[in-house]
A and B are shown apart, each in its own frame.
Chain A
Amino acid sequence: MSIMKYLNNFFLFILFGIIVSCGEEHSLREENYYIDNINKEWLIDDSINSNFTMIDNNGISQSFNLQWIYNEMSKSVSKNFGITTLISYREYISYSYTSTYNSGFSISMTAATDNEDIQNGDVLTANVGNTAFRYDFTYNQVTDVYLNAGAISSIYTSEGLQSDTEILSKVELIDTLTVNNFQYKDILHFKLNDFTDSIDNFDITEIYISKNIGLIKYKYYNDIECYRVK
Chain B
Amino acid sequence: MRIVTLFFVFLSFFTQCYNTCEEGEDIATDNGILTDADLAKVPYQSNDTVKLKHSAGYTINYNVTRKSYDDYISFDESCAGMIVKSNSVNLEPDYPVFPIYINISNSDGINTNYQIVVGRYYFYIPQNIDNTVNSEYYKFADSVTINNKVYYNVVKTKSFNGTYDSSDLIYCDSLYYNFDAGIIKITMSNNEYYEISE
Contact = CB atoms under 8 A, between A and B. Distances in A.
B26 interface: no
Interface in B52-69: 54-58
A60 B97 contact: yes
Tell me the interface secondary structure of chain B in the complex: loop
Given A61-B190, A202-B96, A220-B96, A100 B57 contact: no
A169 interface: no
Contact of A102 (B55, B98, B167, B190): B98
Interface stretch (A5-13, A62-70, A78-86, A185-193): A62-70
Contacts of A220: 96
B169 interface: yes
B171 interface: yes
A224 interface: yes
A39 interface: no
Contacts of B97: 60, 101
Q: How many A residues touch the partner, as a band?
A: 20 to 34
A61 B170 contact: yes
A59 B56 contact: yes
A110 B192 CA distance: 39
A80 B192 CA distance: 60
Contacts of A67: 165
A154 interface: no
B54 A58 contact: yes
Contact of B169 (A51, A129, A202, A224): A51
A49 B167 CA distance: 6
Contacts of B172: 100
B161 to A, nearest CB: 15
A119 interface: no
Contact of B170 (A59, A100, A129, A202): A100
Contacts of A65: 165, 167-169
A98 interface: yes
Interface in B83-124: 95-98, 119-120
A102 B165 contact: no
Interface in B127-176: 165, 167-172
Contacts of A113: none
Interface string B2-23: 0000000000000000000000
Contact of B167 (A51, A58, A103, A224): A51
Given A101-B97, A101-B119, A220-B96, A51 B168 contact: yes
Contacts of B168: 51, 63, 65, 98, 100
Top 3 A-B pairs, shortest CB-CB distance: A59-B56, A63-B169, A51-B169
Interface of A: 49, 51, 53, 58-63, 65, 67, 98, 100-103, 129, 202, 220, 224
18 contacts: A49-B167, A53-B170, A58-B54, A59-B55, A59-B56, A60-B54, A60-B56, A60-B192, A62-B170, A63-B170, A65-B167, A98-B120, A100-B168, A100-B170, A100-B171, A100-B188, A101-B97, A101-B98
